[in-house]
A and B are shown apart, each in its own frame.
Chain A
Amino acid sequence: MTQKTNNNILEVIQVENLRKHYNGTYNGIMALKGISFSVKRGEIFGLLGPNGAGKTTTINILTTLTPPTSGVAYVNGYNINTKPDKVRASIGLVFQETTLDTHLTAEENLYLHALLYGVNKKDFITRKREVLKLCELWERRKSPVSQFSGGMKRRLEIARALIHFPKILFLDEPTVGLDPQTRNKIWDYIFTTKKQKGTTIFLTTQYLNEAEVCDRIAIIDYGKIIALDTPENLKKMIGGDIITLRTTDNEKAFAQIKEKLPQCKIKRIGKEIQIEVATGEEFLPSLIKTITPKILSLELHHPTLEDVFLELTGRKIRENNTPDTEDIFSFNLKSFLALFKNNNHKNTNGH
């Protein structure tokens, strides 16, 4: 297999100055204004951006569905412009909109896909069982897809994209419009896949907490990549963590911090003291030792990607964030991620 030679490529996706101009009724739209980035083998790479930023356009170009106006990209070592068939054989893709055949059953959808990608019968039978169990649709495998809920369809689509052991899995907003429980399930599923098969995952999202769990993210806005790093590093760009403190004697505490802990920025806001510091966790013990007045309340707030987006563009990424669903979600994800990171030493985070 020619694929073999590509197994040791470190950068499975390389994008060089991609541009895409859509011809429109008026002047057309420059959907991508020259983007460049690369994705490393085995990482979860997120493309974060608001509606119309160019996320789907990027995915369509990388998966050879749309030709770029200019620029070049390599996917699994193959040029998207000259070797589209090779690219398509290396990838799995879950579109933003559902692309299941609702006339057919779950199993038949998987079967047609396996045939299209040349998975042999024996592999298919074991693989089918594996993916259907994983996405908890094994019992429903004989039901027509038209009877599935949105979340079930989404899970089946991801399962389908995995049937042929793709090297790279593209997910265009995999959890959009789903409830928090389903979103969690889908993420569990994405992590398991990555862990078991070492699949590289390229996903787009508008949800900040989803971007948060990616190994690296690129923030895209109006067809340009305005930042690219690990979520941790991006947030450090903001200037560190924020500690909010209330004591019985704020005057005295303020003076003490100023004198003994010069590395932080300090402000008094009403009845509270606000401290901005690079790494809050490391700073807290020395802070507690330093001040003598009794501490009434102490809060450590990490900057979010929302802060990053706000800093970079002066806007919020989405007009109406829904914090209620996001809270439950980010909590679960974080604990899940912590578990995951312990099992799997990686170097992408730099620490």
Chain B
Amino acid sequence: MATNTANFFSSKSLRALYVIWYREILLYWRNKIKVFTSIFLPVLIAVAFGTGLGSILEFRHLPYNFSQFLYPGILGLSISVMSITSTLSIVWDREYGFLREILVAPVSRSVIAWGKILGASTVALIEGILLLFTAPYFNLVLSPLQIGEIFLVIIIFTLGVAGLGVFLTSFVSRTESFSLLLQLFIAPMSFLSGGFFPLNSLPLWLQNLARFNPLAYGIDALRWTILSGNLSASQISTFTLHSLPSCIIALLIFDFIIILLAFRAFKK
């Protein structure tokens, strides 16, 4: 590690970082299905909530608007899925040989791993931006400052998720097995993410389990930033498990650990 950090910020490494990143974006752009789904989901939401699905979801006994509760959850889960599935390209590259072309280039491995993580995070950010366009259908008002905060949260959040993806890729050599492995991870993590129902309504042992789920912190952080224009802090705290600062700290710690693990796994 130490020897790499010395020349990591050289222009050569930055250029290589740019190449890997650029290719991720190119791949996303070429993948018509992926581009389609990332546009389709916001459109679907706009149509559904624009035509009154929101009112069906209004539960009288809740002290808050349920569709507003739901919105950051949908956003958080979609960008996580987008981010983690982007790392699939590593497995694909390994299976079809392109990874060797990169590995034999005069570029350090950590730069390659960083390029993949940043690429996945960028694609997730694009998805996040597309989804933010549907905010008015939830009667959400977003100030420019809030949008900046949301972007930051998305980046901090998806870096870790992408890191998790890169880490997982080192355990599989075939594309199909990776998809299966992802489902194995994504399903329980989404369930315990608080995306669809407030985590503090769960039994205590499940709540404790959710404390180890990075998605839960990401989605709570998104709730705090997205809803702060509409709801008061005390209202938001009724359906979040963690406060915003603890979310950010937890996400940063998670990013640090998982990216380190991803590097180590990628190096072998």
Contacts and interface: CB of A to CB of B under 8 A. Distances in A.
Nearest to A98: B97
Interface stretch (A112-120, A196-204, A231-239, A296-304): A112-120
Interface string B89-126: 00001001111111111111000000000000000000
A95 B97 contact: yes
B204 to A, nearest CB: 47
A1 to B, nearest CB: 13
B105 A88 contact: yes
B11 to A, nearest CB: 9
A152 interface: no
Interface string B217-244: 0000000000000000000000000000
A324 interface: no
Contacts of A63: 104
Interface string B1-39: 000000000001001101100110011001100000000
B15 A102 contact: no
Contact of B108 (A85, A93, A108): A85
Contacts of B105: 88, 113, 116-117
B100 A116 contact: no
Nearest to B107: A116
A41 B126 CA distance: 50
Interface string A80-98: 0000011011010101011
A115 B107 contact: no
Contacts of A267: none
Contact of B98 (A86, A91, A101, A115): A101
A103 interface: yes
Given A88-B105, A104-B30, A112-B23, A99 B15 contact: no
A9 interface: no
Central interface residue in A98, A113, A117, by most chain B CB within 10 Å: A117
A98 B31 CA distance: 21
B104 A115 contact: no
B15 A118 contact: yes
Nearest to B96: A102
B26 A104 contact: yes
A116 B106 CA distance: 8
A220 B17 CA distance: 39
B96 A116 contact: no
Contacts of B101: 95, 99-101, 113
Interface residues of A, number: 25
B104 A93 contact: yes
B30 A103 contact: yes
Contacts of B98: 99-101
Interface in A285-301: none
A144 to B, nearest CB: 9
Contact of A85 (B27, B99, B106): B106
A125 interface: no
Nearest to A88: B106
Q: Is the interface of B mostly helix, strand, loop or mixed?
A: helix
A216 B12 CA distance: 36
Interface string A155-196: 000000000000000000000000000000000000000000
A303 to B, nearest CB: 38
Given A85-B108, A97-B97, A116 B30 contact: no
A214 to B, nearest CB: 23
Contact of B106 (A65, A89, A97, A100): A89
B25 to A, nearest CB: 12
B19 A112 contact: yes
Given A97-B97, A112-B23, A118 B104 contact: no
Residue of B26, B31, B102, B105 most packed against chain A (CB within 10 A): B105
Contact of B102 (A97, A100, A116): A116
Contact of A116 (B16, B31, B93, B108): B16
A104 B93 CA distance: 13
B97 A103 contact: no
Nearest to B31: A103
B253 to A, nearest CB: 32
Contacts of B27: 103
Contacts of B99: 99
A99 B104 CA distance: 11
Nearest to A104: B26
A338 B179 CA distance: 55
Given A116-B105, A118-B15, A95 B100 contact: yes
B67 to A, nearest CB: 38
Contacts of A100: 97-98, 101
11 contacts: A63-B104, A88-B106, A91-B104, A95-B101, A100-B97, A100-B98, A101-B98, A101-B101, A104-B26, A118-B12, A118-B15
Interface of A: 63-65, 85-86, 88-89, 91, 93, 95, 97-104, 108, 112-113, 115-118
| Cβ-closest 7 pairs across A and B | A99-B97, A89-B106, A88-B106, A116-B105, A99-B101, A115-B19, A101-B98
Given A65-B103, A101-B93, 5 more contacts: A65-B104, A95-B97, A100-B98, A104-B26, A116-B16
